[in-house]
Amino acid sequence: MRIAIASTEGSVTRYFEDVCCFEIFDAQDGDQTRLPDLHADLSTVFEKLKSAGVDLLICGSMDHKSEASVRKSGIKITRDVLGLTRDALSAWQAGYLNTTDSPMCKNARF
């Protein structure tokens, strides 16, 4: 399983739409790669993640359009996560973060 974490300077990006890059981790072998500078092209970001073999996206809050796009791509989502990317990955691996199909937030920016 490959996990992408929306990140900015080593932390989970608070608002998905402000993402600078994605840290991609392979859950089986621990391999880590990076997809940089995707913030300028959110219209194709989910296609790029899917082509990179990503199965799960961990991110902060997300607007309706982005959440609908990621669901359409078939990538699972764990959202509303804050903290360091490594801590988020460790929490997911330990079973503390769940992938849910909860309703979308009415307004991703508080």
Find the helix or strand (DSSP H, E) in which 103 lies.
Answer: none
Predicted confidence (pLDDT) per residue in 35-92, tens digit: 776 655 666 888 888 888 999 999 999 888 888 888 888 999 998 999 999 999 999 9
User: How many CB atoms sit inside 10 A of residue 11's CB?
Assistant: 17
The model's pTM: 0.83
Is residue 99 pLDDT above 70, yes or no? no
Domains and CATH numbers, the chain: 2-93 (3.30.420.130)
What is the model's pLDDT at position 107? Answer: 38
What is the model's pLDDT at position 41? Answer: 65
Which of 62, 50, 61, 60 has the alpha carbon at shortest distance from 24? 50
Contact 49, 35 (CB under 8 A): yes
Give Cα 64 to chain centroid, integer Å. 15
